[in-house]
Amino acid sequence: MNIRDIHIPVMLERCLELLGPALQKDGAVYVDGTLGMGGHSEAFLERFPHIRQVGLDRDTDALRIAGERLAPFADRITLVHTVYDGIADALSSSGYDHADAILYDIGVSSLQLDDASRGFAYAQDAPLDMRMDATQGITAADVVDTYGEGDLRRIFERYGEEKLAGRYARAIIAARQNGRIERSGQLVDILQAATPAALKNAGHPAKRVFQALRIEVNGELAALERAIPAALETLAVGGRLVVLSYQSLEDRFVKRLFVEATTSTAPKGLPFELPEHAPQFRLLVKGAELASDEEAARNPRAKPVRLRAIERVREAS
């Protein structure tokens, strides 16, 4: 099996184009905050032979596979087992005090989706796990079997934007009376049975619930809220951050944090802006960019992507 045949990096050329200007100097530090199977990293290391890279991932399988793929660049890379909000510590432990370019390709990876045993995909029966880091933390089965009805409804509404959240939460509570729900197939059957006939053709009933469970299990939105400020803090002047997100929830978080970072802190009513109130960052793209129709056709996982990019223009006061 050739990993390059099953893993196509999303918006690769655009990421190279946006981050490239920050990687021109010898020894520039590039951080792949969501290493995955190393597709983006391989391209950056090939395109910029003078850079150093720190690669982060919470998934030990991803670190192993990426390590094998990036072996030709072993003298220029450091791989760190951590969630991407741990970027500052990862840089420090790797011997760097800043980053020049950072890429966050957030959400579930191809590796996790394609391995049925991980329990991320509702289309395949498997243990209800969904942990990105299989070495620690609660599983999706733990959530389904221990959370109360109110908490289940809350996460389905908040993280899945599921309109039938209450109905599905009640169905899960009722099904638990017959024993532990341990497999994705069991959960899918419960959700399908609880879906009104009129809505059965309006998309798979498990899609949003599985998304919500995955986000809850991995603390994804909380990590994202910490990761963006942490990344911005590590950037040198002229340094750039690109974020690829695949869900509206994630993209709204990124948009809000980027707006805050690029907005003047001057109190309203001042006749002029003092230098210390000027924004430390500027947006590199207007709004969120989408993958081209050609890329979406070639790589279906690029269809929902939203790209946002930002650059540090001055030091903190």
- The CA distances from residue 6 to 38, 175, 301, in Å, are 12, 37, 11
Contact 131/139 with Cβ under 8 angstroms? yes
How far, in Å, CA of 243 to CA of 307, rounded?
Answer: 6
**Is 84 annotated among the ligand-binding residues?**
yes
**Is 57 annotated among the ligand-binding residues?**
yes
Which of 199, 212, 222 shows the shortest CA–CA distance to 162? 212
Contact 218/76 with Cβ under 8 angstroms? no
**Is 112 annotated among the ligand-binding residues?**
yes
Unique residue bearing structure tokens 């579930």: 108
Contact 283/309 with Cβ under 8 angstroms? yes
**Is 105 annotated among the ligand-binding residues?**
yes
Unique residue bearing structure tokens 């809350």: 154
Contact 106/224 with Cβ under 8 angstroms? yes
Angle (deg, nearest 10), helices 149-160 and 207-218: 100
Contact 233/248 with Cβ under 8 angstroms? no
Question: Binding site residues, as ranges?
Answer: 38-40, 57, 84, 105, 112
Question: Binding site residues for S-adenosyl-L-methionine, as ranges?
Answer: 38-40, 57, 84, 105, 112
